[in-house]
Amino acid sequence: MPNCDFTETIPNSSFDWNGIREPFILATENDYLNAISMLFGKLLTGTAQIFVDVRTFWSPQAVKRVTGKDLPDNADTGLIHLINSGSAALDGTGKQQKDAKPVIKPFWEVTDKEVSDMLAATFFRPANLGYFRGGGFSTDYLTEGGMPVTMSRINLVKGLGPVLQITEGFTLILEEKVHGMLDRRTDPTWPTTWFVPVLTGKGAFKDAYSVMNNWGANHAALCYGHIGDLLITLASILRIPINMHNISTDRIFRPSAWNAFGTDDIEGADYSACKNYGSLYEK
């Protein structure tokens, strides 16, 4: 019974052995809530989605202790190690480019050269037998830095129903030595995305640790671009309240009927409106 990492990675990517094509959303570990979160990102952007574990928080102090190096200034409250052996689309390498910057494009804009570059940046490692007794191959790459990305996740809360978490941020590239030392603390045979959330200075976005501490599961969907405002609008249409986000108020659009539930506490009003109108879809 080998692992399914390769089998999950390829459908999620924008190409396979037959060429460039639409990504097919597939979540590992039977995590249908993350699959839905990935599907939201794909439908809104047309891009491949990266399935990630929200695995480890690294503070500047811990990085200094382990590696002897300082984190970049834009990670002054720490960074989050996003890493999962399966379901990480190869588009997550960041080897697609626009205006000489790493991006993840809609599948219809991906070029043959970019497919070659993504494959060249990827290793298929023999599976860690501590996790996968049957063997197989795990996907391994390092995401390019400087990409705007949005991390999201639907969670089910007993007595409440589905809620959506959203965190916009940026990918970060570390020095090769620093990356190697930190990567080996988890599993160097898996793909890594170093993530720095955009902070607001309060609540769940007081610092990088608070983002991870408030995350509702060990999985998340990662989408290229800052699409948190689109996710909020989509969630209101589906009657899913937002329980965590770092989107500025001027970017948020919800139906005007939400104003009847209060305008001082717009997130509380979101919960009230979603409860009042009920789920758009029922089991």
CATH number where 69 lies: 3.20.14.10
Cα separations in angstroms, 20 against 84, 109, 153, 187, 245: 24, 9, 27, 30, 34
Which pLDDT tens digit goes with each residue over 72-107?
999 999 999 999 987 899 999 999 999 999 999 999
Cα separations in angstroms, 191 against 3, 158, 188, 272: 15, 33, 8, 40
Residue 272 maps to a domain: no
Please state the pTM of the whole predicted model. Answer: 0.96
Residue 234 maps to a domain: yes
Cα separation, 278 vs 3, in Å, equals: 40
- Would you please indicate which residues are annotated as catalytic (active-site) residues? 29, 53
Residue 268 maps to a domain: no
Cα separation, 29 vs 63, in Å, equals: 30
Strand-strand pairing, 161-172 and 242-244: parallel
Which pLDDT tens digit goes with each residue over 116-128?
999 999 999 999 8
The 3-class secondary structure across 103-141, one letter per residue, is: ECCEHHHCCHHHHHHHHHCCEEEECCCCCCCCCCEEEEC
Q: Which domain holds residue 226?
A: 5-250
Residue 19 maps to a domain: yes
